[in-house]
């Protein structure tokens, strides 16, 4: 009786513990939105409850179009393909930053909201970008540095075909980087 009462109290306090004690929350089934999604598959909440699965509503508008910004839901740890699945589960696709106006809006957004980075839907082939929209827009704000201190895109890991926006990650401002698709980041989806 005393042991079960102690464990119950410990479990309740662990759920409300600060982030540095998140492992206790995970141990007792708590934790924060997205932190427990270790296998990076979108959560299916059967009925549209949302969060890191399907059923989420757009949470950003620009240019008359709706977008879903995953970090606003606490969903911040997708591989690129996991992010694509999250977008599909919400009836959307990964964002195409296929115009100067969209590039300004969303690079500004990641800076204003203090996010480190996010996935786009772009696929990199040399200096060409294939966007999910099918539109051509290759004149993006590539970083002049990266993990190997080389201008982007640099294909540093040998398979950097995914495109991410990094917020001053290499002291370079908010810029585009080619990145291996297995890295984990939030994503922005568009309708």
pLDDT on residue 49: 46
Give the HSE-up count for residue 128: Cα atoms under 13 Å, Cβ half-sphere. 5
Please name the residue that has the structure tokens 């002291």: 171
pTM for the whole structure: 0.75
| 74 compared with 48, residue with greater pLDDT | 74
* DSSP-derived secondary structure for 78-99: B-HHHHHHHHHHTT-EE----S
Q: For the sheet containing 117-125, what is the strand order?
A: 128-130, 117-125, 162-167, 174-179
Mind listing the pLDDT tens digit for each residue in 104-125?
999 999 999 999 999 999 999 9
Sorting pLDDT into bands at 50, 70 and 90, what band is 50?
Answer: low
Residue 128: strand pairing partners: 125
Going by C-beta distance under 8 Å and a sequence separation of 6 or more, which residues neighbour residue 140? 97, 103, 129, 176
Question: Does residue 23 carry a pLDDT above 80?
Answer: no
What share of the chain has pLDDT > 70, as a percent?
Answer: 74
pLDDT on residue 96: 98
Give the number of other Cβ atoms within 10 Å of residue 135's Cβ. 13
Q: Where are the alpha helices (DSSP H) in the chain?
A: 2-15, 22-27, 80-89, 100-112
Sorting pLDDT into bands at 50, 70 and 90, what band is 18?
Answer: very low
* Span 55-81, average pLDDT: 98
Question: Does residue 8 carry a pLDDT above 60?
Answer: no
Please name the residue that has the structure tokens 């708590």: 30
175: enclosing H helix or E strand: strand 174-179
Q: Are 90 and 60 in contact (CB under 8 A)?
A: no
pLDDT on residue 66: 98
* Span 23-51, average pLDDT: 40
Computed over every residue of the chain, the mean pLDDT equals: 82
Question: Does residue 172 carry a pLDDT above 60?
Answer: yes
What is d(CA 70, CA 58) in angstroms, rounded to the nearest whole number? 10
Sorting pLDDT into bands at 50, 70 and 90, what band is 151?
Answer: very high
pLDDT on residue 36: 37
Q: Provide the token pair at 76.
A: 């911040």
* Span 44-50, average pLDDT: 41
Kindly report which listed range (29-38, 62-71, 102-111, 162-171) carries the lowest average pLDDT score.
29-38
């Amino acid at each position: 009786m005393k042991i079960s009462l102690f464990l119950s109290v410990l479990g309740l306090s662990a759920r409300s513990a600060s982030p540095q004690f998140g492992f206790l929350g995970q141990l007792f089934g708590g934790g924060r939105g997205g932190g427990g999604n270790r296998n990076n598959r979108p959560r299916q909440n059967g009925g549209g409850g949302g969060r890191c699965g399907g059923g989420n509503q757009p949470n950003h508008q620009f240019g008359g179009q709706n977008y879903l910004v995953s970090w606003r839901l606490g969903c911040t740890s997708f591989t690129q393909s996991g992010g694509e699945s999250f977008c599909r589960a919400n009836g959307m696709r990964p964002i195409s930053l296929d115009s100067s106006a969209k590039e300004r809006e969303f690079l500004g957004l990641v800076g204003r909201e203090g996010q480190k980075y996010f996935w786009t839907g772009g696929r990199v082939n040399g200096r060409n970008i294939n966007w999910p929209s099918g539109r051509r827009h290759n004149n993006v704000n590539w970083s002049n540095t990266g993990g190997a201190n080389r201008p982007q895109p640099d294909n540093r890991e040998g398979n950097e075909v995914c495109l991410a926006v990094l917020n001053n990650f290499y002291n370079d401002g908010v810029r585009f980087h080619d990145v291996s698709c297995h890295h984990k980041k939030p994503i922005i989806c568009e309708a």
